[in-house]
Amino acid sequence: MALNNLGAGLLTGGHWTEAEEVLKVAVHIMGNDHVMGDKVFFNLGSVYAEEANPDLSDPSALMRIALLVPPVSNSSSEIMKIRKLFEQRVRAIVHMADFGCEGIEDGVLQDLLVIEELYELRKTIRPLKNSGRLDGFGSRKKRICFISSLFGEGEPHGLLLQDVISNIDNRYYDVYVVVIGGEQAGDMIDKSAYAVIAVGYDWRLARRTLNELQLDALVFAEMQNEAMSHMLGFGRFAPVQILAMGSPVTSGNPSIDYFVSCSRSEHPLLTMLDESESHYSEQLVLLEGLGISYPRPFHLPQAAHLSSPERDKIWLVDLRLPSKFLHFRKYTCPQHLFKLHPDFDAVISRMLAGDEGGVVLLQSAESGRKTGMVRRRISRHVVQDFGEKAGSDFLKRLVFIPRVTSDVFHVLLQMSSVLLHPFPFGGSKTSSDAILSGTPLVTLPTPYLRGRMVLAQYFEIMDDVQVYDCCVAASVTDYIYKALRLGINDALSYGVKELIGRGAGKIFDNESVRLEWLAFLDSVLKKSPELPLQDPLKFSRHDSEVLQNLQRRWIEDTQVSVHD
């Protein structure tokens, strides 16, 4: 408080340099005092405005601070507390903007109220408006732009859309790619696009670029991974604005018209929900079938071709596995730690207790602090479940392995006994690699897209119901049972691995995904009426039977829980 007041006083007296130094110190020491943080950053913005530093004086910087949330939490209750603080921080900065309207809605917070306030606040930053169409618009090609900070070589979001970008018909469309951040676009994207434009983290350049392109459609690969794409999403740079499932959650943003998902990854009873119950703020587009496909990686190292000493070296040197665990069963969760929800701690706890000959492997975060937070959180859960003495013994078999090269990572997937897919937030690229390895991947589908992508992939490869029965769980208890059973029963694990290996190739370079995307873009831009958007609920006979069984089980489970 004192430093902020001193900085404000120096600012009032015209001592800009001294004010900046004092306020920077205040930023460094203010910790989690978000209310004071808003005031400090507001004063810093005034300093930068006086110094004619437009990037730092832009209110977007203040909004970024308000939107920051920790990627790792200590408990489920802390997540709710963080959400409440998020709402408070947004409310704290809303009054700093002139909305030019009657004000903000009062009353009890609704789920989207904060997003609505952010939308109003974003409009006060004076986004560039689309300046109209070029002369001869009726005869020129349609313009589609894909934007992301993750289009670099090998980046999952670039790989997710690479096949779409490279197959858009250039007789009718010009495809632009805008790259946020410091990475260059991957070679395939770079060769396929009409133009690739790098904007770095220059906010004004990004807005000006999108405006000057005079787009017909703008596709965000994701909006939750970094601040610039998130904030750009509140502007209107094209008549049609689309969000792909790079980050598989709704934007909650009225400027985004469509969210592209797929029929197999959404809840089987989704179409029975009232519109008011939908968790998508956008119009939901269900591509038929898988909806997600990556290019198949070539020249992957094969663990089966390695000698025993070579495999041991990878475990002991590259993965730093303690030698005493070398011949233990390895239960590996290969996802980033931020995807491990506190609810998943119960799985880790009971896996450690359920197989004394097994070790649970988690991937360390780049930040040692984040790794330590997750380790302490899991430790508390284990001790709470089994007591101090037994819990301490179990925790000796919890190992955080270092981040490794792609080749070592693929060997890790192949050499693991069982792979654990987290819930309620999973992934698609890592799960694709996991399925390609052949190692059984256990998953617990949840009601929303972010927790159902492995289920969709299993639907695609499943010629034998045994894979579904052994790898897809119906509850947390069932998840633990299935994972331990696969780990301990070598014959079962080998059989499932054989079945997965036969069909794993179906989820890569999947032509139907590309065709569904192209049909959607043609339909929404009304360029090729002969390629209408296909019926999103048109399943094959096999898929329909599977979904009917899922619906029956879901209804039965619901009825049981009600009567209980």
**What CATH number is attached to the domain comprising 477?**
3.40.50.2000
**What CATH number is attached to the domain comprising 211?**
3.40.50.11380
Is the per-residue pLDDT at 308 higher than 70? yes
Assess whether 224 and 285 both reside in one domain.
Answer: yes
Is the per-residue pLDDT at 402 higher than 90? yes
Using an 8 Å Cβ cutoff, are 213 and 241 in contact? no
- Torsion 233-234-236-240 (CA) sign: positive
By DSSP bridging, strand 283-287 and strand 217-220 are unpaired
Assess whether 278 and 339 both reside in one domain.
Answer: no
* Burial class of residue 419, CB neighbours in 10 A (0-12, 13-18, 19+): buried
Is the per-residue pLDDT at 410 higher than 80? yes
Point out which residues pair with 225 in neighbouring strands.
Answer: none
Assess whether 56 and 170 both reside in one domain.
Answer: no
Using an 8 Å Cβ cutoff, are 534 and 516 in contact? yes
Long-range pairs for 273-276: beta carbons < 8 A, 24 or more residues apart: none
User: Mean pLDDT across the stretch 278-286?
Assistant: 84
Domain that holds residue 69: 2-123
CA-wise closest residue to 23 among 4, 38, 42: 4
Assess whether 191 and 267 both reside in one domain.
Answer: yes
Q: How do residues 95-144 score in pLDDT, each as one tens digit?
A: 444 333 333 333 333 333 444 444 544 444 333 333 333 333 344 789 99
The domain boundary residue, chosen from 123, 153, 169: 123
Percentage, residues of the chain above pLDDT 90: 32
Assess whether 324 and 450 both reside in one domain.
Answer: yes
Assess whether 386 and 367 both reside in one domain.
Answer: yes
Assess whether 254 and 314 both reside in one domain.
Answer: no
CA-wise closest residue to 339 among 68, 69, 75, 71: 71
Q: How do residues 77-91 score in pLDDT, each as one tens digit?
A: 888 888 787 777 766
**Domains of the chain: total:** 3
Assess whether 313 and 461 both reside in one domain.
Answer: yes
In the numeric block, which tokens belong to residue 329?
């069963």
User: Mean pLDDT across the stretch 23-32?
Assistant: 69
Using an 8 Å Cβ cutoff, are 20 and 50 in contact? no
Between 556 and 392, residue with greater pLDDT: 392
pTM: 0.73
The domain boundary residue, chosen from 96, 123, 150: 123
